Amino acid sequence: MATLVLTTIGSVIGGPIGGAIGAVLGQAIDRDVIFKPKGREGPRLTELAVQTSSYGTPIQRVFGTMRIGGCVIWSTDLIESRSTASSGKGQPSVTNYSYAASFAVALSGRPILSVGRIWADGNLLRGAAGDFKVSTGFRLHLGGEDQDADPLIASAEGVGLAPAHRGIAYAVFESLQLADYGNRIPSLTFEVIADAAPVAAGAIAADLSDGLIDGAAATLPLPGFAAYGNLRAVIETLGTATGGWFAPDGAGLSLRVANDPERTIADAGVAAGAGGGARSVGSTAAIETVPRTVTLKHYDPARDYQTGVQRVRRPGAGYTDQQIDMPAALDATSAKTMAAATLARAEAGRVRRTVALGWDAIGIAPGTCVAIEGAAGAWRVTGWSLEHMVLSLECVRLAAAALPVQASGGRVLSSPDAVAGTTIVHVFEIPPLDDNVLSAPRVTIAAAGTAPGWRRAALLYSLDGGARWSTAGATAAPATLGVLASVPLAVAATLIDRRSRFEVELAHAGMALSGADAAALDAGANLALCGDELLQFGVADQIGATRWRLSTLYRGRRGTEAAIGTQAVGDRVVLIERDAVATLDVPLATLGGDVRVLASGIGDVAAPAAAQTMVAGASVLPLAPVALRWRELGDGVAVIAWTRRSRAGWRWIDGVDAPLAEERELYRVTIGSAPSVETSEPTITLAAAERSAGVTVSIRQVGSAGTSPAANLFIPAWEA
């Protein structure tokens, strides 16, 4: 360093005094030559917010907590997956392709503690609770000097060929699903937590310079800072943030700020020679040399670290605007206070003064903060000259400490951070929601999450008790579902149930129910599966955050009247909506067997959600006949009649008859314990002998896939 060289030369030539002179000369050369500003720019805020993948791109060093864009340092080709789903009777199957990618992103050139939120294309990929909104594997390497290579990279590149990237914090995504991002790797930004608390600006300067800069005096806390690009420019940016300056300090530099003056000097006005004049001179630069406005750009934590802008303006002449890009996380008030302090320093710096002292003050080096007797405030020594044993110090006035300036960061447009929770899945067999006649059984799958952020889950199903599993695509839109908190009464399905009022507990507060008028109910609105009964409700009253009371009920819909009154507290409640249920067609041979379903969403870390149902035939079998009646013909002979129902005409549009929906009209009638007989007419004659002691008659409709449940009628004994 020039200081060391000139100190040695001065000591050789002039002893101790010469050594002191040489030291001061060296300090001046250090400041004016070696550390003279070279017009380099500091880091641009846009550079920190954009993900890169170019070879040789600098990796930022993160302090505190910052949102930054990383650099992709490794990736695989796109991973293609294929799933095939049936579209129903007479329709071709549909094959869907999905894509994923595995890659690594470098985050910081110094160790970090953790990563908070992650954004992908501006939308949250990982929430504050650590939950991912899209299915992916994730590993974080903190940047320690002893970290090992990531196992995925090692398996792809080969053991011994995969770098461990020691000293660099990086994240690895494994099979990130890309459907939401146009089947490409999205632009990612990370909330990197490198330190547990805000870091002093001086400590950052010392760390970046490997200890060559003493920043102990610069205690301004920065909640977050990203050092990127030219190191000198970054350190000068820290000087701007603190309002400090750099002064030689031994073999390095010290970052000094306007604290209490180190010493007080008296302006002696000593003459340099017999005919010399006083050396005490003051000057004030024109106001136009001071910026009219100072605009400071920063990252605002209150706005998800989006760029914030704070501007301060002074009155008076001038047209220049000083622009400062501060790669730091600052709230609006701190940013505006920093801008105001910058403007105040520029105004105070207009005032300069030359002070004359005796040669014994030669130890006052440039960069020293002093007080001048008779002058207000503190002053910084910027230069000196020694002539005829008179030391002249060039001083500039320092601004007083800035008071906080209140500011607003503006409206916050944050990405929604809804936690997905775990998956709730129900599988059941009900008749189709339309008038299509199925030839093979169909089960219905409804799913949702325990929190509002749940979107979908991948489905697997098994027809052999879990020995083999097949893919079934994904769930439909989140269903509205919950459990019974109380049960409805057991009443007939032929009348509107105005007596029952029962309560349901929905899965989370984001779910809601609503009432429906008679016309909407006639069109199929508010159909819900409660236990095994399908019912409709006309009134829904919210009585708690997740609790609802339902009344005005249409019971036993779509042939489920046998389940009326069988419910228990805790049984499932599922609102049946076309867009919120998925269907799965299974072979006819499955009748009487079970279908098992696994649903795996992004919140199902421990295990997928499981459900199963028995395929009893509700989707393919005819319905039990209704309106059973009998009449006497005389001599003990009775005629029994009934009305058939159809699985293809639920609304009974013409009010006369319903479509047959089966290959032929046929009924199987069992009278007591006698063998069953079949008839093609909805009527049968009962002989007197067959009812001698009273008898129960069971009637089933025969369909294409089997027989309906039985409809029973008791015929009393005939007495002659």
Confidence at residue 164, expressed as pLDDT on a 0 to 100 scale: 93
Q: Please tell me what DSSP assigns to residue 3.
A: H
389 with 489, same domain: the answer is: no
Q: Is the dihedral of CA 590, 594, 600, 606 positive or negative?
A: negative
- At residue 25, does pLDDT exceed 70? no
Range 394-400 average pLDDT: 92
What stretches of 314-398 adopt beta strand conformation (E)? 321-329, 351-358, 369-372, 379-387, 390-397
What digits encode the pLDDT tens for the residues 37-76? 444 455 555 555 556 666 777 899 999 999 999 899 999 9
In a domain, 40, yes or no: no
In a domain, 1, yes or no: no
Type of residue at 72: V
573 with 458, same domain: the answer is: yes
In a domain, 412, yes or no: no
More confident residue, 317 or 304: 304
In a domain, 86, yes or no: no
- Phi, psi (degrees; rounded to nearest 5) at 236: -65, -35
Range of the domain at 601: 423-614
- Reduced to 3 states (helix: H, G, I; strand: E, B; else coil), residue 491 is coil
Please answer whether residues 237 and 48 qualify as being in contact, where contact means their C-beta atoms are separated by less than 8 angstroms.
no
Neighbours of 317 (CB within 10 A): 10
359 with 391, same domain: the answer is: yes
- At residue 8, does pLDDT exceed 70? no
708 with 588, same domain: the answer is: no
Confidence at residue 280, expressed as pLDDT on a 0 to 100 scale: 61
- At residue 553, does pLDDT exceed 70? yes
In a domain, 692, yes or no: yes
With a pLDDT cut of 90, the percent of the chain lying above it is 60
Confidence at residue 11, expressed as pLDDT on a 0 to 100 scale: 32
| pLDDT grade for 418, boundaries at 50, 70 and 90 | confident
Confidence at residue 573, expressed as pLDDT on a 0 to 100 scale: 98
153 with 183, same domain: the answer is: yes
Confidence at residue 532, expressed as pLDDT on a 0 to 100 scale: 96
Type of residue at 692: S
251 with 372, same domain: the answer is: no
Confidence at residue 515, expressed as pLDDT on a 0 to 100 scale: 96
- At residue 435, does pLDDT exceed 90? no
CATH number reported for the structural domain that contains residue 668 in this entry:
2.60.40.10
What are the helix and strand counts (H, E) for the chain? 7, 44
Please answer whether residues 618 and 430 qualify as being in contact, where contact means their C-beta atoms are separated by less than 8 angstroms.
yes
Residue that is last in its domain, among 178, 193, 208? 193
Question: CA-CA distance, 383 to 30, in Å (whole number)?
Answer: 12
In a domain, 29, yes or no: no
In a domain, 147, yes or no: yes
List the structure tokens of 211.
Answer: 């200890």
| pTM of the entire predicted model | 0.74
pLDDT, the chain, mean: 87
In a domain, 16, yes or no: no
Q: How far is CA 674 from the centre of its chain?
A: 67
| pLDDT grade for 437, boundaries at 50, 70 and 90 | confident
Angle of the 201-208 helix axis to the 231-242 helix axis, nearest 10:
160
263 with 204, same domain: the answer is: no
Q: Please tell me what DSSP assigns to residue 340.
A: H
| pLDDT grade for 692, boundaries at 50, 70 and 90 | confident
630 with 559, same domain: the answer is: no
- At residue 648, does pLDDT exceed 90? no
Range 201-214 average pLDDT: 94
Type of residue at 515: G
Count of domains observed in the chain:
6
**Least confident among 42-51, 370-379, 460-469, 572-581:** 42-51
- At residue 32, does pLDDT exceed 70? no
302 with 353, same domain: the answer is: no
452 with 494, same domain: the answer is: yes
Q: What is the DSSP string of 70-133?
A: -EEEEEPPPEEEEEEE---TT---EEEEEEEEEEEEEEESS--SEEEEEEETTEEEE-TTS-BS
Q: How far is CA 373 from the centre of its chain?
A: 60
Tokens 């910084």 belong to 380
573 with 429, same domain: the answer is: yes
588 with 641, same domain: the answer is: no
